[in-house]
Amino acid sequence: MDDLLRRHRGVMPSWMPIYYAEPIELVTGKGARVTDSNGRSYLDFFGGVLTNSLGYDVPEVREAVERQLRTGIAHTSTLYLIRQQVELAEKIARLSGIPDARVFFTNSGTEANEAALQLATNARQSSTILAVRNSYHGRTAATIGVTGNRAWSASPLSPFNVSYLHSGDRLRGVLKGLSDEDYLRAAAEDLREVLATTTAGPVACLIAEPIQGVGGFTSGPDGLLRVWKEILDEHGVLLVSDEVQTGWGRTGEHFWGYQAHGVTPDLLTFAKGIGNGFALAGVVGRAEVMESVQGISFSTFGGNPISTAAGNAVLDYIVAHDLQANAARVGAILLDGLRAVDSPVVLEVRGKGLMIGVELVDVATTNAVFEACKRDGLLVGKGGLYGTTIRMGPPLNLSEAEAREGLEILTSALTAAGSASG
C-alpha cells in the first residue's frame, strides 16, 4: 500500500484528494461490503460517492454486462442503433415526469450538466445563468463556473455570466434559523432581486440540486423549487434540476429530488446511481428545449452498449425491488438513530432517505469521526462548504441489519468525539 501511495503521489497531480491519513485500496466487494488490500473488511456507506446504488457485484448487473461482452460488441459507435440504449431512454423518459421527454446520454454527471447548460443557453440565446451558492455541478469550464464552492473551482474562468442565489445551508448565512415559510419568502425575494439586477441580458436558466450533495446534503424547504419556478416562468427562464445525487429513489419519498417541490423542471440531469459503477449519465428534457440545438452533436461513449446494458439492469432492479421504499424505511432507521445520539459535537442531522448528513462542530472533529469510523470498519464520506459534514449514501438496498451495524459504529465515534471535546 505504501508503495502504491508513493507511486500515486509521484505520477498523479497533487490536487486530486485521497481519503484517509492512511489511504486504502479496495480490492473486492460484495453487497454493501468491501475489502482492502490488507484484507480488512468495511461496511461501505459512501458507495463511491452515492454511485453504488445496488452495492457491489450484483448478479443481475454482472450478467447483463457479460451477456453484452459475449456478443463481441463491447462498443460500436453511437452512430448506429443500439437497442438497450433506446430501451433505457424510453424507461428514463417515462420515469422522468417530464412531458414529451427526450434523453441524451453522456459519460459523467459533469458532461450531463454541460449538455443541459448548452441546451438552455442555446434555447434562450443567452450566456447568463443562475446557480446556487454551495452547489457542485462538475469539473469542466462551464460546470465549474456554476459551482458555488471555491474549493472545487480548479479554474476561475467560466464561459458564462453566473449569479448565485442564496444556498440551502440553514445553519449559517442570511437564511439561518428562518421558518420554512419565511425561508421561501426570502428565497423568492432573493431570486427576484437577482433577476432585476442581473445586467447581462436575458437569463437562460437556473441550475440547482434539490439537495446539495458535495455541499453537505443541505437543502431549502420542500416547495423551494416551485417558488423559484413560478418566478422563473414569468421571465421565460428554464429550470435545470441536477439529480446526479438525488435521483433513482435515493431520497426515499420520491424517485427524483425535484418531486418533493411540487414542480417539474424543464431539464433534469442524472448520473452516478444509474450505472452502479459503469460510466453512464445524461440529460432529460422537454422536446422543445432538447430539439433547440442547431447543428448535430455526438458522444463516442455516451450511452454505449456496455453501460446501457448495465443501466437497464440497474434501473429494472431498482423498480422491481422498490428500492425507493427501502431507502425510506432503512433511511429512517439511520436518521432516527443519529438524531437520538447525545453528543455535543453534533450540530445537525439532516437528509432524506439514504442521503444523510451529520454536521459537526469543526474540521478536526469531523476528521476524527471519519477516521474512527474507518478504524471500526465503516466507510463514510465527508464534505460541506466548511468540511464539517459526515456524508452517507449507502446502497439503496441496504438491509436493516447493515444500517444498525453502521449506526452503532458511527454512534460510538460521535460519542467518543463528544467525550474528547468535553
Residue nearer to ligand PMP on the CB measure, 113 or 343 = 113
CB of 109 to ligand PMP, least distance (A): 2
Residue nearer to ligand PMP on the CB measure, 137 or 374 = 137
Do 400 and 409 touch, CB atoms closer than 8 A? no
Q: Position of cell 417539474?
A: 264
Q: Give one word for 206, left, alpha or beta, with left for phi > 0 and alpha for psi -120 to 50.
A: beta
Residues in a beta bridge with 379: 44
In a 3-state reduction of DSSP, which class is residue 364? helix
Residue nearer to ligand PMP on the CB measure, 144 or 409 = 144
CB of 34 to ligand PMP, least distance (A): 19
Residue nearer to ligand PMP on the CB measure, 138 or 216 = 138
Burial 78-104 (b: 16+ CB within 10 A, else e): beeebebbebbbebbbebbbbeebbbb
Residue nearer to ligand PMP on the CB measure, 114 or 402 = 114
Distance CA 126, CA 129 (A): 8
CB of 244 to ligand PMP, least distance (A): 4
CB of 245 to ligand PMP, least distance (A): 5
Residue nearer to ligand PMP on the CB measure, 146 or 414 = 146
CB of 175 to ligand PMP, least distance (A): 20
Distance CA 142, CA 137 (A): 9
CB of 137 to ligand PMP, least distance (A): 5
DSSP state, 257? G
N- to C-terminal Cα separation, the chain: 36
**Residue nearest ligand PMP (C-beta atom):** 109
Residue nearer to ligand PMP on the CB measure, 314 or 409 = 314
Do 252 and 328 touch, CB atoms closer than 8 A? yes
Cell numbers of 368, please?
476524527
CB of 41 to ligand PMP, least distance (A): 26
Q: Which helix (H) or strand (E) holds 335?
A: helix 323-339
Residues in a beta bridge with 352: 355
Cell numbers of 7, please?
507511486
Q: What is the binding site for ligand PMP (CB under 6 A)?
A: 49, 108-110, 113, 136-138, 209, 213-214, 242, 244-245, 271, 281
CB of 46 to ligand PMP, least distance (A): 12
DSSP helix, strand, coil percent of the chain (3-state; round to 5): 40, 20, 40
Q: How many CB atoms lie within 10 A of CB 162?
A: 19
Residue nearer to ligand PMP on the CB measure, 154 or 420 = 154
Cell numbers of 329, please?
424505511
Cell numbers of 246, please?
438525488
Residue nearer to ligand PMP on the CB measure, 283 or 330 = 283
CB of 78 to ligand PMP, least distance (A): 18
Residue 246, CA atoms < 13 Å, CB-side half-sphere: 29
Residue nearer to ligand PMP on the CB measure, 165 or 271 = 271
CB of 122 to ligand PMP, least distance (A): 20
Cell numbers of 86, please?
433506446
